Amino acid sequence: MMYLASQSPRRQAILNDLQVKFQLLLPEPFENPELLEVALPQESSKDYVLRVTLLKLQAAVERLNRQALPWAPILCADTTVVLTKNGQEMILGKPHDAKEALSMLELLNDQCHVVHTAIAIQITQDQAAEYVINSSKVYFANNSTQKLKSYVATSEPLGKAGAYAIQGLGSCLIEKIEGSHSAIMGLPIFETSSLLEKAGIGFILCP
């Protein structure tokens, strides 16, 4: 058994597909995970996503100890959408409303951007976390403004980094990807299964 420190239904679904036995270890009411997601000045997007993931993992370890739960490995992940313009990285988080979602989609439209997903696992309390970062490229088609507005009207972009969900209707906007589809969803299956093996956590191909 292991703990998953993530509220993402997509990450939970992927672990269920792998037939991993896990229990959610979610933030307590007084915790504010968004405070951990503030980017530092001059911080690269890869450094950012790894730092945020490790901070969330540390918070999860403290949460488990606070709740006096039995120890088991803890898995945590974070996904960042990055658009590079004029040599500068723009980290696109979750839009606060429909207007911001449309603005993000207009930035991504007819462009290539990168999705970084960092995953980390704390196997025991007294050793450093194991982690890996997957970077995949996503190419948006040249979509009409009306198509982007129609997508925003579905409300799917809200709560999604970069204002789209590749596993949903957002795939209608995307011409191609280079990399891992599951990583863009939020949990790269290949890298996750490798970390599960290191932790001795059974899954469908490695019971």
pLDDT of amino acid 35: 87
d(CA 40, CA 17): 35
Radius of gyration over alpha carbons of the chain, in Å? 17
Confidence bin at 184 (pLDDT 50/70/90): very high
Shortest CA distance to 78 belongs to which of 40, 117, 26, 135? Answer: 117
Confidence bin at 15 (pLDDT 50/70/90): very high
pLDDT of amino acid 173: 98
Supply φ then ψ for residue 53, to 5 degrees. -65, -45
What is the domain range of residue 153? 2-199
**What's the whole-number average pLDDT of the chain?**
96
Task: Tell me what the mean pLDDT of segment 35-53 comes to.
Answer: 93
| pTM beyond 0.85 | yes
Percent of the chain topping pLDDT 90 = 92
Q: Computed from CA positions of residues 19, 6, 79, 159, in that sequence, does the dihedral angle turn out positive or negative?
A: positive
Inside any domain, residue 176: yes
Confidence bin at 31 (pLDDT 50/70/90): very high
> Which tokens sit at 33?
């995970």
pLDDT of amino acid 83: 97
pLDDT digits (tens, 9 = 90+) for 94-130: 999 999 999 999 999 999 999 999 999 999 999 999 9
Inside any domain, residue 55: yes
25: CATH: 3.90.950.10
Inside any domain, residue 204: no
Percent of the chain topping pLDDT 70 = 100
pLDDT digits (tens, 9 = 90+) for 74-86: 999 999 999 999 8
Tell me which amino acid residue 121 is: I
* Residue 34 pLDDT greater than 90, yes or no: no
Inside any domain, residue 207: no
Q: What total of structural domains would you count in the chain?
A: 1
pLDDT of amino acid 207: 83
Residues taking part in catalysis = 78
Inside any domain, residue 31: yes
Per the CB < 8 A criterion, the answer to whether 169 and 142 are in contact is no
Confidence bin at 1 (pLDDT 50/70/90): very high
Inside any domain, residue 103: yes
Inside any domain, residue 206: no
Inside any domain, residue 60: yes
Per the CB < 8 A criterion, the answer to whether 78 and 117 are in contact is yes
> Diameter of the chain by CA atoms?
54
